[in-house]
Each structure stands twice: as C-alpha cells, then as structure tokens.
Amino acid sequence: MANLSENIKQLNIKLQQLLKQHQHIVAQNEQQAKTILQLTETAEQQKNSLEIMKQEQLILKASLDKMDDTEKKQLEQKLNRYIRNIDKCISLLSHKQIV
C-alpha cells in the first residue's frame, strides 16, 4: 500500500512538472506569435515603402526625361491602371448614390 501511495506521489510530481512545462511552452508560443505578427507588419510596411519609392523613382526619371522606351511603357501602363481604378471607384460611388 505504501508503494502505491509513493507511486501516486511521484506521478503527481511529474504531472505538475509537465503542467509547468506546458504553461511555459504556451507562453513562448504566444510570444513568438506576437513577434511573427510584428515582423509581418514590418515587412508589409517596408514592401509598401519600397513600392512608393519605385513609383517616385519612375516619376523622377520621367520628369528628367531619362527614361528609355520600356520604362516609359511601364509608367504609362501603371498610370493607365491607376486611371482605370479611379474610374471604377467613381462609377461605384455614383452607382451607390443612385441606389
């Protein structure tokens, strides 16, 4: 009987240790998830900044008239895409006002 009681105590101690380890791992996972989210947001912000800088570079090249034909076509395509998106937005807004 004493042996059974000792085994139960040992199991209880091991269970408590496992619970502490589990809590520690859960806390680590939460911290890592926060870090991943922050890094993802930072990467997205940097990606957006890079895109803006690329657009500014194209505009500067266009203003300095140092663009070759492919760069001019790329700029023209981007401008046309922006204009189409603006037209779609205007169309949707005017349609919503009618409805």
Query: How is residue 12 written in tokens?
Result: 């209880």
- Predicted confidence at residue 43, as pLDDT, reads 93
pLDDT in tens, 41-51: 999 999 999 98
- Per residue in 59-81, pLDDT (tens digit) is 777 777 777 788 778 888 888 98
Check the CA dihedral 42-45-47-50 and report its sign.
negative
pLDDT of residue 12: 94
Two tokens, residue 20: 């502490």
Q: Which of 49, 60, 57, 58 is nearest to 79 (CA)?
A: 58
